[in-house]
């Protein structure tokens, strides 16, 4: 089995789609979901669904400062990943930049979904950036994570048009529905090919 972990910080709609898709896959299993925010809606959703998933909340220690805080947090995340012998990590709205050390440990096995047609609009609020730039179309990207911000090699992309009548809400909704299709497709590819 290919053992996958999901790291999420928020609503976790992408995480939920991955969890749903994995149920039908013979070689991929979601062995761990790590949430780093006590208020993350995903935490409640998964608790309520009694999914039986290994769900761990790993919070930052706010008594520590700056880089010590991040190092300690990553150490605890890594311990959880190692304990479950995780092969691939899928970031699903995980709002932390991972250190170069972390990235090097999972190089080629650390995946992210980003809401733009990278290399356009990296960083935060990518849908809003693309909408403000009046792009005629935008899209979503699944990519490997490297040491940069949204600079890793692209695994898959999907495009959608911007309609004249679009509000930002319409625009984001169209993008999100593509994300919910594309990310599970990549998980299916991992299942089929045994690697990405």
Comparing CB distances to ligand GAR, the nearer of 107 and 125 is 125
Buried b (16+ CB within 10 A) or exposed e, 115-127: bbbbeebeeeebb
| Residues 139-158, mask of contacts with ligand GAR (x by CB under 6 A) | -----------x--------
As separate numbers, helices (DSSP H) first and strands (DSSP E) second, the chain gives 6, 7
Beta strands in 9-167 (DSSP E): 28-35, 55-57, 88-92, 110-114, 137-144, 154-161
Angle between helices 41-49 and 13-22 (to 10 degrees): 30
| Residues 53-82, mask of contacts with ligand GAR (x by CB under 6 A) | ------------------------------
| Residues 111-130, mask of contacts with ligand GAR (x by CB under 6 A) | --xxx----------x----
CB of 115 to ligand GAR, least distance (A): 4
Q: Three-class SS of residue 115?
A: coil
- Which residue in 87, 114, 125, 137 is the catalytic one? 114
> Binding residue for ligand GAR (CB under 6 A) from 4, 5, 10, 110?
10
- Residue pointed to by tokens 């928020």: 10
Q: How far is CA 56 from CA 8, 12, 16, 98, 114, in A?
A: 11, 14, 15, 18, 23
> Binding residue for ligand GAR (CB under 6 A) from 31, 74, 179, 191?
179
Comparing CB distances to ligand GAR, the nearer of 5 and 8 is 8
For residue 43, what are the contacts with CB-CB under 8 A and spacing of at least 6?
A: 35, 37, 55, 57
Residue 14 near ligand GAR by CB under 6 A: yes
Residue 184 near ligand GAR by CB under 6 A: no
Q: Are 166 and 138 in contact (CB under 8 A)?
A: no
Residue 13 near ligand GAR by CB under 6 A: yes
Residue 89 near ligand GAR by CB under 6 A: no
Comparing CB distances to ligand GAR, the nearer of 115 and 184 is 115
* 114 is an active site residue: yes
Length of the chain: 196
User: Which residues are tagged catalytic?
Assistant: 114
Which residues form the interface with ligand GAR (CB under 6 A)? 8, 10-15, 92-93, 113-115, 126, 150, 179
């Amino acid at each position: 089995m290919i053992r996958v972990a999901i790291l999420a910080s928020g609503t976790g709609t992408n995480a939920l789609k991955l969890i749903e898709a994995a149920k039908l896959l013979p070689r991929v299993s979601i062995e761990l979901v790590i949430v780093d925010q006590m208020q993350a809606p995903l935490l409640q959703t998964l608790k309520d669904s009694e999914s039986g998933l290994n769900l761990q909340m790993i919070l930052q220690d706010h008594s520590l400062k700056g880089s010590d805080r991040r190092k300690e947090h990553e150490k605890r995340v890594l311990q959880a990943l190692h304990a479950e012998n995780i092969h691939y990590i899928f970031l699903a709205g995980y709002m932390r930049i991972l250190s170069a050390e972390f990235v090097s440990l999972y190089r080629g096995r650390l995946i992210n979904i980003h809401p733009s047609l990278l290399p356009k609009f990296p960083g935060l609020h990518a849908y809003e950036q693309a909408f403000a730039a009046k792009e005629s179309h935008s899209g979503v990207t699944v990519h490997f994570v490297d040491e940069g911000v949204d600079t890793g090699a692209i695994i898959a992309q999907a495009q959608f048009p911007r309609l004249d009548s679009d509000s930002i809400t319409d625009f984001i909704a169209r993008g999100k529905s593509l994300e919910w299709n594309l990310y599970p497709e990549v998980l299916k590819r991992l299942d089929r090919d045994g690697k990405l």
